[in-house]
């Protein structure tokens, strides 16, 4: 297969996704309200590309991520991963496919088990999916920890011994060790300082090149998205208001809401240029 | 221009470990009608600096150095004496509006509480004042008896702002007031704050980690790193012609909305 073909190969396709939550309010008089978290959402991710989902809180972007990972069940809609329908697949086959979709979480403090050593955290995924024997697992873990910029000696440490940026590196290593094809990054840098943020963004880009990864990059920060994404999906109140290539969304936004978002970027006119 | 606040050689260290210096020899001035941004990463001492001015540091920390408010040294004042300054001469708003508001008191009553501490108003004037404050921060006055949980994050921050400006302070300290907000709401709150600053000629000390926000709101900028001021100047000087290596490196980490810049992560060893 030539590299051109790889770029065009469809990895994940979502068609007409719906998800509603019901909210109960009131103490003496119960009122029920339904919230459409996903309202007819369709999108697709090609191999090797970064698709960003942007939107404000309550736009449904995290619900979408959880539905794509099948951590939440859909009300309606179809999910295809490499041409196979995930919504109708048997549990056993699904488990095999799900290895290829991994997630990097927002909060590096809450997403690592504090009682497990880093080596154990990385090995867990390999054990669950039955990948390799003890020797090959150990080698894989040692290679991966170096890939994300940490040291082999760190494998015997616990999560609390690391800073936020280092923990995010561990989270990335955990996602990548089972050799996924699609990584869903839910606000991976929003809890980090700006200098650490730059390191993690660059690391994600390097790893993408090396492993031909596709990213679904969820973010509310339109400056970060501009640096990461090939294509952008703009969500508002559960609906997709606009999608297109990064260049077109930023330079010729069609929807009013997109324009509003772009206008709200702090310091948007300023060109940071340091000689 | 006349200084409203002068901070001289401010130092903060833990009482148990006096050798460990969290804020080291920080000096700067605030002027009426100008916004000064303190920008830095977590642990740079920016929030401690703000809290020291209000004398709100935890009892585990000790501050030294002088702080002059309108020429009067307030650094030696007792906690009781400071109370007449807090709220009236200088007020503060925080990052999390929900944790700063009382969930079981209506927002109207909370604003009244802020007014009652310093001003002696009768019931009629009090109500009138609350309505005008709500109007000033852009909250419809039929929300006066709402509770904090009925409001959105942006509206809660507007209530905090109404409470902080209630007694017409001459200094407003804002510690990352928009960090927890959505980007469109952030833009509204930043606009509200700079309008209020302009109208009331307050001096604003604005703490942030976001250079985009700095560009949007600041007149003067102070860059802090590991407890020290590494650079200060007007917003143009610092953002366009940064002098210190740390400022330059930090600016290179900031992704821009145009997407043309190559990100370059900081090598922290270079500055220590």
What is the DSSP track for B104-163?
TS-HHHHHHHHHHHH----HHHHHHHHHHHHHHTT--GGGTT--GGGS-HHHHHHHHHHH
| Count of Cβ atoms closer than 10 Å to residue B189 Cβ | 23
Tokens of residue B143, six digits: 């929300």
A272 in contact with chain B, both atoms CB, cutoff 8 A: yes
Mean pLDDT by 10 residues, chain B (272 residues): 93 93 96 96 92 92 95 91 90 88 94 91 92 94 91 93 94 93 92 95 95 94 95 94 91 79 67 56
- Spatial separation of the C-alpha atoms in residues A12 and A82, rounded to whole Å: 6
Looking at residue A174, the DSSP 8-state letter turns out to be H
B3 in contact with chain A, both atoms CB, cutoff 8 A: no
B183 in contact with chain A, both atoms CB, cutoff 8 A: yes
* Sign of the C-alpha dihedral computed for residues B92, B93, B98 and B99 taken in this order: negative
B72-73 β-sheet, strand order: B23-30, B5-14, B61-69, B72-73
Tokens of residue B172, six digits: 């407003």
ipTM above 0.95, yes or no: no
Asked if residue A103 has pLDDT above 80, the reply is: yes
Q: Sort out which chain A residues have CB atoms less than 8 A from B246's CB and list them.
A: none
Cβ <8 Å between A271 and B252: no
pLDDT tens track for A11-47:
999 999 999 988 887 778 888 888 899 999 999 999 9
β-pair type (B171-175, B228-234)? unpaired
Q: What average pLDDT is seen over chain A?
A: 90
Side-chain-side CA neighbours of B60 within 13 Å: the count stands at: 6
Which A-chain residues 227-256 have CB contacts (< 8 A) with chain B? 227, 246, 250
The alpha-carbon gap from A134 to the nearest alpha carbon of chain B, in Å, equals 36
Cβ <8 Å between B212 and A250: no
pLDDT tens track for B27-40:
999 999 999 999 99
β-pair type (B220-225, B35-39)? parallel
Q: Which residues contact A90 (CB under 8 A, 6 or more apart)?
A: none
Q: For residues A173-196, give the mean pLDDT.
A: 92
The alpha-carbon gap from A12 to the nearest alpha carbon of chain B, in Å, equals 27
pLDDT band at A123 (very low <50, low <70, confident <90, very high): very high
B6 in contact with chain A, both atoms CB, cutoff 8 A: no
Cα distances (angstroms) measured from residue B34 to each of A203, A270, B31, B247? 40, 20, 6, 22
- Spatial separation of the C-alpha atoms in residues B1 and B201, rounded to whole Å: 13
pLDDT band at A2 (very low <50, low <70, confident <90, very high): very low
Tokens of residue B8, six digits: 């001289």
* Sign of the C-alpha dihedral computed for residues A96, A101, A107 and A108 taken in this order: positive
Q: Sort out which chain B residues have CB atoms less than 8 A from A268's CB and list them.
A: 212, 257
B125 in contact with chain A, both atoms CB, cutoff 8 A: no
Q: For residues A243-269, give the mean pLDDT.
A: 91
B92 in contact with chain A, both atoms CB, cutoff 8 A: no
Tokens of residue B38, six digits: 């303190």
pLDDT tens track for A261-272:
999 998 877 766
Outline where chain A has alpha helix (H).
3-8, 61-68, 91-98, 118-128, 134-147, 164-176, 194-211, 222-228, 246-251, 256-263
**pLDDT attached to residue A273:** 61
**pLDDT attached to residue A272:** 62
Q: What is the CA radius of gyration of chain A?
A: 20
The alpha-carbon gap from A275 to the nearest alpha carbon of chain B, in Å, equals 8
Asked if residue A274 has pLDDT above 90, the reply is: no
Identify from A108, A190, A195 which residue to disrupt to test chain B contact, counting B C-beta atoms within 10 A and taking the largest count. A195
Q: For residues A163-174, give the mean pLDDT.
A: 94
The alpha-carbon gap from B107 to the nearest alpha carbon of chain A, in Å, equals 20
Outline where chain B has alpha helix (H).
46-54, 79-82, 97-100, 107-118, 123-136, 153-165, 183-200, 211-217, 235-240, 245-253
Q: Sort out which chain A residues have CB atoms less than 8 A from B258's CB and list them.
A: 226, 271
CB contacts < 8 A, A to B, total 115
Cα distances (angstroms) measured from residue A219 to each of A185, A222, A241, B264? 9, 7, 16, 20
Looking at residue B221, the DSSP 8-state letter turns out to be E
């Amino acid at each position: 297969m030539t590299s051109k073909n790889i770029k065009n190969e469809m990895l994940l396709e979502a068609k007409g996704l719906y998800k509603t939550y019901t909210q109960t309010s009131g103490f003496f008089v119960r009122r029920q309200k339904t919230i459409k978290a996903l309202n007819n959402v369709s999108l697709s991710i090609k191999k090797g590309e970064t698709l960003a989902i942007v939107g404000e809180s309550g736009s449904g972007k995290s619900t979408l991520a959880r539905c794509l990972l099948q951590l939440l069940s859909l009300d309606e809609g179809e999910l295809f991963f490499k041409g196979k329908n995930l919504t109708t697949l048997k549990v056993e086959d699904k488990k095999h496919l799900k290895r290829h979709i991994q997630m990097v979480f927002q909060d590096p403090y809450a997403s690592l088990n504090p009682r497990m050593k880093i080596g154990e955290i990385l090995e867990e995924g390999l054990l669950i999916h039955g990948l390799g024997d003890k020797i090959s697992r150990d080698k894989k873990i040692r290679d991966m920890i170096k890939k994300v910029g940490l040291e082999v000696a760190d494998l015997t440490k616990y999560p609390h011994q690391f800073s936020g940026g280092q923990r995010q590196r561990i989270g990335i290593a955990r996602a990548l060790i089972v050799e996924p094809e699609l990584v869903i990054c839910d606000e991976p840098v929003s809890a980090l300082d700006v200098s650490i943020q730059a390191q993690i963004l660059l690391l994600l880009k390097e790893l993408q090149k090396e492993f031909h990864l596709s990213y679904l990059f969820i973010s509310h920060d339109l400056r970060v998205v501009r640096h990461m994404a090939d294509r952008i999906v703009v969500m508002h109140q559960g609906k997709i208001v606009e999608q297109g290539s990064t260049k077109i969304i930023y330079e010729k936004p069609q929807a009013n809401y997109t324009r509003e978002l772009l206008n709200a970027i702090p310091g948007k006119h300023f060109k940071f240029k340091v000689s | 221009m006349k200084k409203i606040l002068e901070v001289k050689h401010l130092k903060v260290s833990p009482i148990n470990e006096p050798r460990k210096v969290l804020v080291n020899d920080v000096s700067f001035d605030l002027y009426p009608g100008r916004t000064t941004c303190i920008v830095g990463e977590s642990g740079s001492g920016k929030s401690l600096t703000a809290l020291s001015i209000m004398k709100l540091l935890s009892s585990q920390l000790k501050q030294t150095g002088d702080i002059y408010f309108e020429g009067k040294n307030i650094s030696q004042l007792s906690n009781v004496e400071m109370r007449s300054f807090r709220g009236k001469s200088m007020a503060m708003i925080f990052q999390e509006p929900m944790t700063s508001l009382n969930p079981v008191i209506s927002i109207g009553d909370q604003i009244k509480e802020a007014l009652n501490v310093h001003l002696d108003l009768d019931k009629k004037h009090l109500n009138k004042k609350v309505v005008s404050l709500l109007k000033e921060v852009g909250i419809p006055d039929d929300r006066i008896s709402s509770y904090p949980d009925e409001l959105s994050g942006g509206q809660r921050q507007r209530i905090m702002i109404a409470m902080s400006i209630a007694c017409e302070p001459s200094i407003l300290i804002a510690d990352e007031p928009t960090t927890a907000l959505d980007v469109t709401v952030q833009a509204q709150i930043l606009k509200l704050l700079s309008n209020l600053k302009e109208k009331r000629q307050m001096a604003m000390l604005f703490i942030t980690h976001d250079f985009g926000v700095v560009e949007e709101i600041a007149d003067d900028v102070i860059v802090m790193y590991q407890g020290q001021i590494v650079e200060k100047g007007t917003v143009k000087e610092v953002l366009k012609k940064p002098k210190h290596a740390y400022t330059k490196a930090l600016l290179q980490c900031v992704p821009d909305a145009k997407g043309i810049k190559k990100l370059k992560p900081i090598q922290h060893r270079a500055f220590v």
